[in-house]
Amino acid sequence: MTELRVKDVMTTPMLTLEAETLVSEAADAMRKATIKSVVVVSDGCQPAGIFTSTDALSVIADGVPTDETTVKEYMTTGVETVSPDVALAAAAEQMHEGGYSHLPVADADGDGVGILTKTDIAEVISDPVIDDAISTVNE
């Protein structure tokens, strides 16, 4: 049985935006795509940060106008990434140890190619065929 890799379950394409994007625009994009995070990219498509629904909530709680505030002011920087070829179990461990709900997936050049979320992992676990395969690999 072949071990599942990040590339087998990650979400593609991932929604990206620039750090100077207004929070109102980022929140609207997340709402329309029914997702809880966007990857903030710099040169090319290299992840420079992540802006989540929790960050949007912080903006509201702070009473800051969302149409005057950029995601740069609230995004998490220094985000870890994972290779699409990494074993899913290793990526899940990385997410668990780091307390991450979202983990950008980057290729060998550092460009974002997708995102791995807790929801992606939950969907894998809830699929009985895949869950049996994971159990077999882990035995």
Residue-level pLDDT at 1 = 41
Q: What is the CATH number of the domain that holds 35?
A: 3.10.580.10
In the predicted structure, residue 137 carries a pLDDT above the cut 50: no
How many independent structural domains does the chain possess? 1
Contacts 24+ apart (CB under 8 A), 103-108: 104/14, 104/39, 104/47, 104/50, 104/79, 105/6, 105/7, 105/10, 105/14, 105/81, 106/46, 106/47, 106/81, 106/82, 107/83, 108/83
- With contact defined as beta carbons under 8 Å apart, do 22 and 67 qualify? yes
Q: Is 17 inside any structural domain?
A: yes
In the predicted structure, residue 136 carries a pLDDT above the cut 50: no
Q: Is 1 inside any structural domain?
A: no
**Domain, as residue range, for 130:** 6-138
Q: Is 114 inside any structural domain?
A: yes
Q: Is 93 inside any structural domain?
A: yes
| pLDDT tens digits, one per residue of 9-29 | 999 989 999 999 999 999 999
| pLDDT tens digits, one per residue of 70-80 | 999 999 999 99
pTM over 0.95: no
Indicate the average pLDDT of the chain.
90
